Chains A and B, each alone.
Chain A
Amino acid sequence: MKHFFYILTGLALFSSCEKVVDVDLNEVNPQIVIEANLFEGEHNFLVKVSQTSSYFETEETRWLSDATVRLIGPENEVIVLNGLGQGQYSAPVLAKGNSLYTLEVSHDLGVYTASSFLHARVPVSELSFEEAEIRSPFGQEQASGDTYYFAVVRFNDPKEVENFYRFNLAVNGKETNPARGGYFLTDDINQDGETTDYRLRGAFLEAGDTVHVSLLSIDQAAHAFYETLGDSQGVGPASASPANPQNNWNNGALGYFAAISLDQKSIVILP
């Protein structure tokens, strides 16, 4: 009995502790951040331009409203976006599939360009759901053995085209990413031209949820951005050296420019 006591004391003291600490971080020159999603079809194209700030700063984002933003289309047509203030720029655009678009931002800090290929739309042929048992012990609040639902997206991958996909999931109107971080991303490297069922296993759905899924067809650079952004978020004692996500801006700008064609469907989970 005495030994039990020793052992339990030992286990209780073998505990880790977490606390918020002060870390002295360098002040660096601010870097420009440009974020833009160009959608297929006629829409109001929106570009956001801002600047990095100190890591512990509590002020709102530093928007840059004094830039010149131009979109160059597949036939070299140029559309100049209007500044709306708060770092936002916009213009009505009719974007066509299978075309290359280039975005150019000029500012006192420099001139930045990025190009993105707008793929043809890939329709969602069916949205369904499946039930499964929770198996893995990591990162979930539910106990092992409980069941959950996940969405399944079926689509026909276009043959002989390199396709990259991102899935946006909204559950009861709320954007939902995989529980373990990162994004729902895939490509057609091993399934070119096939009918594909993509399982959004990372998000745990319950009976009665209304689920809205968008299938975003994106280019390789946008896919790489989301993939590396997802990886860099997983900072912990056992993760690789963190780095900025890869993007398609030249001149060191942060953010990304993605041309996206999308299709979407909704479903209600019924037990």
Chain B
Amino acid sequence: MRILSLFLFASLWSASSLAQNKYTISGTIKDAETGEDLIGAAVVLKSSQGTGTTTNAYGFYSLSLEAGTHTLLYRYLGYETLEKEINLSENTKINMELAPALSSLTTVVIESEKEDQNVTSTSMSVTKLDMGEIEKIPVLFGEKDVMKTIQLMPGVKTAGEGNSGFYVRGGSLDQNLVLLDEAPVYNPSHLLGFFSVFNSDALKDVTLYKGGMPAEYGGRASSVMDIKMKDGNSKDFGVSGGIGLISSKLTVEGPIVKDKGSFIISGRRTYADLFLPLSGDEALENTSLYFYDLNAKANYQLNENNRIFLSGYFGRDKFAFSENFGFDWGNATGTLRWNHIFSDRLFSNTSLIYSDYDYKIAIGDSDEGFSLTSTINDWNLKQDFSWFANNNNTVKFGGNLIDHTFVPGQIDAGSNNLLGSTDVESQYAIEGALYVQNEQKVNDRLSLDYGLRYSFFDYRGEGTAYEFDENGTLIDQTEYEKGESITNYGGFEPRLAGRYRLNTQSSIKASYNRNYQYLHLLSNNTTSTPTDIWVPSSNNVKPQTADQVALGYFRNLKDNMFELSIEGYYKSMGNLIDYRDGANIQFSTNVESELVYGDGEAYGLEFFLKKKKGRLTGWLSYTLSRTLREFDYINGGEAYSARQDRIHDLSIVGMYDLTDKLSVSATWVYYTGDAVTFPSGKYEVDGQVIPYYTERNGYRMPDYHRLDVGLNWQRKKTEKFESSWNFSLYNAYGRENAYSIDFQQSEANPAVTEAVQLSLFKWVPSFSYNFKF
């Protein structure tokens, strides 16, 4: 650790001592039509294109050059490059606006990367989603979804049929940090996982880090999905929307003060349940089942050096059955940000972040019934600095402090209810981190990103600490006062990534990262449900850890038309959580007594080939991997396959432009069936036939494969109005993929035991109509 920081400061000091007679050009780069900040846009010297910089998440850049005359190129893929000549004799501010390039063939696809980014960037194991492609890829019910599109990438596996949840490189569902404008979203799914909470109309940038994540990110063991909302059009008012099979959405955006501030509000609601009364089934008539999302964001430039942003998300699922049963759940997040430019080389962002997830079940009327509420609630204060030390070193440093409150289950009973109101005790914790990292260009061939994060977690009162023996029996308990530390953890998380450029078309990259995770998701089930609860690390639950190394070869072919990458990784995970055999955690007052702890390892090879130009675009992604778990109390202590241990996982995505207005698309996915536990025998006790299990996850579900096809038809496109139709067919050849296989006594003949397979979604057609004016 010490060596790392010495290295960092030595390299910065030596670099800055050479920086004589240099001046700094700084400013922002925006889209000329909408005023949206461009993230990752490049500013380079025309004479020496290796000298340059890129904009940060807020569109800010800073470049130091020697005094004199220079020609600068401002460029961003999908935009017209601008050339600017300057005579540098003092520190200068230059704000630029780039106009989208007009493509004759298709609507403009905004790709947030440089053309040869794949080869030149230091980062590996990173997937950036192209918001333009998401529009075209066919999906279930026609609801375009960033979390489903990301599952078509190597190293990312779906949580199941139609599910928006995903596993990254053998990690668990709860090991993904999902951030929306920096706020963690604790349950990013709607309707039992079939839809994600992210309305893609409101999103600007989606980046998934599968490994080698920069030190500014932390808190989850496996991955970071960083989602940034659009800022809103600061030039003109605009309305866009879509009408689909099961939902409709509408987005309104516009300037608050032209070129100084803008806002965006985007909403979505499903309405499939409005048609339930038509079914004629009395039980369904009084049922409601829907969700809605609301995204809102505003920003305002106070003056040259200060800008504020306010963004929020609110979404909820509601399920009600007659008047007597109600179940609703949802997330709320809010982010208040202040960008401040201290100097032309020091950029600061301060954020106050709020995040809340809760669910509520209400049964019966107010007198006799009861309700159960469970909540997790965060307040987070975060400070980040970017210091553009010189053209070869960009240093980021900062820290944050989160105040967590967990309400695992609060039961409010009506006055006549005999259950009585009970509270499962609330839990409290403080989580924080400090980090520093440097992006360093060592020479033309070698560049390094290295950083160190120190994270800590304090599980504190008011509360009770329980002690259990190895069978989960309570042996002791201690009361703690408000604010008193019950137990605390902390540790260094080194992050390292390097790129060595072999030639202009190819490079080799390597990375290492260590991550700690202090919050854990407990679930009775194999798929995510609204009643899964987050629990803090405590005297019993240790923080989960992950160490990962990765090595990759990156190559671009045919003038950057094709992008190829091959990555191998090995990940070792510690303090993973599972349940005792037969444990029931729902409504349990001492959930921790039902938990067991173990280790895991995952390794694999990822292959990705993408065609980026031409009428036909798309990609092929293949992952060969294993994911194993080892727990003392499960499977007799022997290592076993995790459920998501799918050995082969293949996705092929193709988009073809037939004409300027008409394009077709198709995706085909194939993966090895999940590892599951099936009975290897049966016996009879108490007059019942009981399955006999011999090993955990020793069997496989049938292999999964599916073809989806889609058609996009642009009806009109003028300055004032655009409209398009989108048709898709999910599971085009009607494969009956197994969702579950149950072993049971035959209903017709109880002496016979049989396996019954459940399949969902055989041929699901859908359409949507989209407009913009």
A residues neighboring B (CB under 8 Å) = 6-11, 13-23, 25-28, 30-31, 33, 35, 50-58, 61, 133, 135-137, 143-145, 197, 199, 227-229, 231-232, 235-246, 254-256
Contact = CB atoms under 8 A, between A and B. Distances in A.
Nearest to A17: B759
A148 to B, nearest CB: 14
Report, nearest first, the 9 A-B pairs whose CB atoms are least far apart: A228-B582, A243-B581, A237-B740, A52-B681, A137-B321, A135-B324, A238-B525, A21-B757, A28-B680
Contact of A18 (B683, B692, B758): B758
Interface string B243-278: 001100000000000000000000000001001001
B685 to A, nearest CB: 5
Given A14-B764, A18-B758, A143-B282, A240 B736 contact: no
Contact of A245 (B324, B582, B767): B582
Best-buried of B529, B681, B755 by chain A (most CB within 10 Å): B681
Nearest to A35: B685
B13 interface: no
A163 to B, nearest CB: 16
Contacts of A17: 736, 758-759, 762
A13 B765 CA distance: 8
Interface string B352-364: 0000000000011
Nearest to B278: A8
B677 interface: yes
A242 B681 contact: no
B92 interface: no
Given A19-B759, A241-B677, A254-B692, 17 more contacts: A10-B141, A10-B245, A18-B759, A23-B755, A35-B686, A50-B684, A51-B683, A135-B369, A136-B324, A136-B325, A231-B582, A231-B583, A235-B743, A237-B527, A242-B679, A245-B582, A256-B685
B583 A240 contact: yes
Given A10-B245, A238-B527, A28 B582 contact: no
Given A228-B581, A244-B693, A18 B756 contact: yes
A16 B322 contact: no
Contact of B679 (A7, A19, A55, A241): A55
A33 B683 contact: yes
Contacts of A254: 683, 685, 690, 692
A43 B488 CA distance: 58
Nearest to B528: A238
Contacts of B680: 25-28, 55
Best-buried of B418, B524, B690, B758 by chain A (most CB within 10 Å): B690
Contacts of B321: 136-137, 144
Nearest to A238: B525
Interface string B572-583: 000000010111
A108 B767 CA distance: 67
A133 B758 contact: no
Interface in B466-508: none
Secondary structure of the A side of the interface? loop
Contact of B755 (A11, A22, A50, A236): A22
A223 B120 CA distance: 63
Contacts of B643: 241
A38 B411 CA distance: 39
Nearest to A56: B753
B283 A243 contact: no
A264 B697 CA distance: 43
Contact of A33 (B525, B684, B762): B684
B754 interface: yes
B701 to A, nearest CB: 10
Interface of B: 141, 245-246, 272, 275, 278, 282-283, 286-287, 321-322, 324-325, 363-364, 369, 418, 524-527, 529, 579, 581-584, 643, 676-686, 690-694, 696-699, 736, 738-744, 751-767
Given A52-B692, A256-B685, A243 B756 contact: no
B727 to A, nearest CB: 10
B691 A242 contact: yes
Given A228-B582, A239-B524, A137 B529 contact: no
Contacts of B756: 18-21
B302 to A, nearest CB: 47
Contact of B693 (A7, A56, A243): A243
Contacts of A54: 681-682
Given A228-B582, A242-B677, A135 B363 contact: yes
Contacts of B685: 33, 35, 229, 254-256
B182 to A, nearest CB: 32
Contacts of A18: 756-759
Contacts of B753: 55-56
A267 to B, nearest CB: 20
Contacts of A238: 524-527, 529
Contacts of A61: 683-684
A59 to B, nearest CB: 9
B520 to A, nearest CB: 16
Given A54-B681, A243-B582, A244-B581, A237 B322 contact: no
Contact of B526 (A25, A33, A241): A241
Contacts of A235: 742-744
A246 B765 contact: no
A143 B681 CA distance: 38
B736 A52 contact: no
7 contacts: A18-B759, A23-B678, A55-B691, A137-B321, A236-B742, A237-B740, A244-B693
A252 B150 CA distance: 45
Contacts of B742: 235-236
Given A26-B694, A144-B321, A235-B742, A16 B758 contact: yes
A250 to B, nearest CB: 15
Contacts of A57: 682
B736 A11 contact: no
Contact of B765 (A9, A35, A227): A9
A17 B756 CA distance: 10
A133 B765 contact: no
A245 to B, nearest CB: 6
A197 B742 CA distance: 36
A115 to B, nearest CB: 16
A144 B286 CA distance: 10
Given A53-B683, A54-B681, A231 B584 contact: yes
B524 A237 contact: no
A50 B683 contact: yes
B764 A144 contact: no
Given A227-B582, A235-B743, A236-B742, A241 B696 contact: yes
A235 B738 CA distance: 15
Given A6-B245, A19-B756, A241-B677, A246 B582 contact: yes
A27 B757 CA distance: 21
Contacts of B697: 241
Contact of A21 (B324, B677, B755): B755
A10 B692 contact: no
A1 to B, nearest CB: 13
